[in-house]
Amino acid sequence: MPSGKEVLAVFPGSFDPITNGHLDVIRRSLSVFSELIVAVGVNPAKEPLFTGPERVAMIEELVKQWPNVRVDLFTGLTVDYVKSKNAQVILRGLRNLTDVQYEFEMALTNRAVADIETVFIMTGFRYGFTTSTLIREIGRYGGDISELIPASVYKKLQERLKEQEAQGNGDV
Ligand code: ADP
C-alpha cells in the first residue's frame, strides 16, 4: 500500500514458538509498513518452552529474507517498548472472533494509556486455528504439525520435547 509515509510497526508476542500463522501476518504486513520489529516478549512469570534468545534466533533465521524486518527481545509493557523504538503502531494478528474480543480490549487500553494505535491483519485462512499452545501440545503427542510451522522450528521443537521427556519434564 504505497502511502508515501514511512511507518515502523512493532509486532509483539510470545512466539513460543513462531508458527506459519505469525509468518503469514509478518509477510502481509510488509505491504502496509515500511519497517517491522518482531518483538519477543519475555514474561518472568511464565515458563516458556524456548528461552527469549532461542525464540529470537529462530525468528531471525526465518525473516532474513525480508531486509526491513528486525527481531528484538523485550520485557515490561509493550507500549513502553514501542515508544522506546519511536514506532508508530502495534501490529497484531487475528485468527477468529475469540481473538477479536481480547485484542479489542488490549488495543483500547494501549490507546488510552499511551496513545498508540493497533493495526490488525487477518491471518491466512489455513492458519485460523494455529496457536503456539496447540503446536506445543500436538508436538508433544507426536501429531503432524509440519504444515503449521516452518521445518527449522519443527526440528527444534522435536529436540526440545525429547530433552524434556528425558528429564522427566514432559508435563511442562
Ligand atoms: P501473545 O502471547 O502476545 O498472544 P502470540 O505469540 O501467541 O503472543 O501471538 C502474537 C500475535 O500473533 C498475536 O496478535 C496473535 O493474535 C497473533 N497470532 C498468533 N497465532 C496466529 C496465527 N495463526 N495467525 C495469525 N496471527 C496469529
> For residue 17, is the peptide bond before it cis, meaning its omega torsion is within 30 degrees of 0?
yes
Q: Does residue 136's CB lie within 6 angstroms of at least one atom of ligand 1?
A: no
Q: Rounded CA gap, 79 and 77, in Å?
A: 5
Q: What is the pTM of this model?
A: 0.93
3-state SS assignment for residue 89: strand
Give whole-number Cα distances, 66 to 34, 35, 69, 158, in Å: 11, 10, 6, 27
Q: Does residue 15's CB lie within 6 angstroms of at least one atom of ligand 1?
A: yes
Residue nearest to atom 12 of ligand 1 (CA): 93
The tens digit of pLDDT for each residue in 151-170 reads: 999 999 999 999 988 888 65
The predicted structure's pLDDT at residue 170: 54
Q: Does residue 88's CB lie within 6 angstroms of at least one atom of ligand 1?
A: no
Amino acid at position 142, single letter: G
Q: How far is the CA of 16 from the centre of ligand 1 (A)?
A: 10
The tens digit of pLDDT for each residue in 98-125 reads: 899 999 999 999 999 999 999 999 998 8
Cβ count within 10 A of residue 61: 15
Residue nearest to atom 16 of ligand 1 (CA): 93
Q: Is the pLDDT of residue 78 over 50?
A: yes
Helix axes 52-63, 151-166, angle to 10 degrees: 160
* CB-CB contact of 91 with 11 (8 Å): yes
Average pLDDT over residues 116-143: 91
Spatial neighbors of 169 by CB under 8 A, at least 6 apart, are none
Residue nearest to atom 17 of ligand 1 (CA): 93
